[in-house]
Structure 1
């Protein structure tokens, strides 16, 4: 955090349409990551390991970025990441570290000082799910959806392929990019446990990092209301909000002007559009029973988040509205 720097917020889109479409929002992470890699740097972020656990890893080539791209609503295992970052910085290497606000703050505290070649990026974090829940969901899919994890080569928590940015799906792909499993937010039981704060870590109910004062250079989050800022950018392919916290961040984003479409917006309006920037997740009354049940080996998803007629109707309507191009309009009318 640069106390002398006046924060700014931009909405942005990566000018590489393939990167933007493959990203959760507007592809801002990939632009910053490419910047660091072009300087022979290292990019640290959340990825899946060979057993589909979410861990923090690193990459040094642009082809590596597909591993880190995209949201993963699971607490990542940092392992020895902090020490690796410190060693690289002491060797005068460029490093980009991306993570949740608490992870970025943790790294900053561990390092004890700023480094000119360190770039920190956090996200607006709604909350984070326990890895136990993710493992249980995978077992649920194996048992009830006949998912063969050995055939899975990629998992996208927010896949734009079918309906675009406004209505994303969780999708599992095989090596031929064939869908092995796909479901939307109203029917995906893992996502329902997440958005209801049932699978949330207790610390997220009283998060110390829910404010606009960050130690990072950049904070990124969704920009679903891009139409309010610039209608020409409203193409249902994804847009990011990006808050700049430091002179370093402002310098870097200016150097990326050829890579990103940028449009400065009012800071207060941008923050108001995403309450999760400053508001903690609200405790779920189901959480204790949910975790007690999972500890006893029960399939919690069919107990607490079983599909019903309301969900089936909602899924049907969302798909129809998305296919006809009316989903965004109806969603905005309801919010309005």
Structure 2
């Protein structure tokens, strides 16, 4: 049976739980709020499928059939504005749904917990749009993917690289009608810490009225300076804060609330088992100034011949421009570089384990934070923020 003795060697992908024929493996949160497999030894039949399926234990070096990279913008402005970057996910989803297929992605449930779900209609895609910087609960999603594939349906599955590897290993073979897209992953934050953040902000806002959460909302300042926003059913903003002042986002970007395996990620490679890898394109102005509209642009690397053929059919859905692959990869260090642990991590999770809310002590709204927030908002309103940001990045 699978045993987790070194937590840096488990991504929580849930491949082991999905493949277990006796359903003796469940995913539970540990004392840092991350999901890990727990085996019911009385039910275990010692088939070792869990060990044989683990993508970390059985790491195979993937070889991409192609490495072409494109910058992409969905031609539907409404969709692009609602997306984190350029709306690539929605275009690929439409391809699948037009063929009576199903789409899997990360969504918020009624309790604002991030989990993977499935939809078979265009209206449902809204649930999956937008980045969620929290590890999603996979549940039985891999089993559902296999069920749909066995019905000869098209399936698009999107997730972090470790989740894609988990599904790929679970399936054990290639499927003609399966499309895999991973997102360049900086790292993932603790679902338990996310719950504490909700409790923290819930002291000042009515969480029961929240119907939409955006980690990177472009509606106020655009793509260059996004906000975390909570909205009610009428679309009214209940809560809003930027990356310099939002405690949850600060715990994420500082590598404090990060899963241990993210510090030694096995899947930060250029070649991947997915058909596509998507990531931000903040430097679109270097490729095509006409596309620099502050509404969002995506990089998309194509790894498979199947992915390339499908992409050729999406020219009505997206503006596509091929770019130099090496330059594109170089623009995003997170594609190949792991997160570096924060010095605050140990005291942060020590407080979490004590049962006290970490955000009552960490990532407070200091004078420096308030000044930075004011500067960002003023510079964004007058249109200078993106230029200063670019100068600082070089």
TM range (shorter): over 0.9
Separation in 2, partners of 1:79, 1:245: 27
Q: 1:206 aligns to what? A: 264
TM-score normalised per structure 2: 0.84
Q: 1:252 aligns to what? A: 310
Which runs of 5 or more structure 2 residues have no equivalent in the other structure? 1-60
Separation in 1, partners of 2:64, 2:79: 34
- Higher RCO structure (Cα 8 Å, ≥6 apart): 1
Distance 1:133 1:2, change over 3 A: closer
Separation in 2, partners of 1:59, 1:299: 35
Q: 1:177 aligns to what? A: 235
Secondary structure of 2:180's partner? strand
Secondary structure of 2:85's partner? coil
Separation in 2, partners of 1:246, 1:157: 30
> Could you report, residue by residue, the CA deviation over 1:139-158 in whole angstroms, capped at 9, with x for unpaired residues?
00012xx1111100100110
Separation in 2, partners of 1:129, 1:302: 18
Return the offset for 1:296: 1.2
> Could you report, residue by residue, the CA deviation over 1:128-169 in whole angstroms, capped at 9, with x for unpaired residues?
0010010000000012xx111110010011000100000000
> Could you report, residue by residue, the CA deviation over 1:245-297 in whole angstroms, capped at 9, with x for unpaired residues?
00010001100011100000001100100000000000112112111101212
Question: Does the CA-based 8 Å contact 1:2-1:245 persist in structure 2?
Answer: no
Pick aligned residue for 1:266 from 318, 324, 340: 324
Secondary structure of 2:361's partner? helix
Question: Does the CA-based 8 Å contact 2:181-2:274 persist in structure 1?
Answer: yes
Separation in 2, partners of 1:287, 1:42: 39
Q: How many residue pairs end up in the alignment?
A: 334
| Pairing 1:235–2:297 present | no
Question: Does the CA-based 8 Å contact 2:64-2:271 persist in structure 1?
Answer: no
The structure with the larger Rg is 2
Q: What is the 5 A alignment of 1:276-315?
A: 276-315=334-373
More helix by share: 1
Secondary structure of 1:304's partner? coil
Return the offset for 1:302: 3.0
Question: Does the CA-based 8 Å contact 2:71-2:321 persist in structure 1?
Answer: yes
Question: Does the CA-based 8 Å contact 1:45-1:98 persist in structure 2?
Answer: yes
| Pairing 1:19–2:79 present | yes
| Pairing 1:157–2:249 present | no
Secondary structure of 1:108's partner? helix
Secondary structure of 1:208's partner? coil
Pick aligned residue for 2:160 from 76, 100, 104: 100
Separation in 1, partners of 2:362, 2:146: 43
> Could you report, residue by residue, the CA deviation over 1:162-214 in whole angstroms, capped at 9, with x for unpaired residues?
00000000000001100000000000000000000000000000000011111
Question: Does the CA-based 8 Å contact 1:2-1:246 persist in structure 2?
Answer: no
TM-score normalised per structure 1: 0.98
Return the offset for 1:2: 8.0
Q: 2:66 aligns to what? A: 6
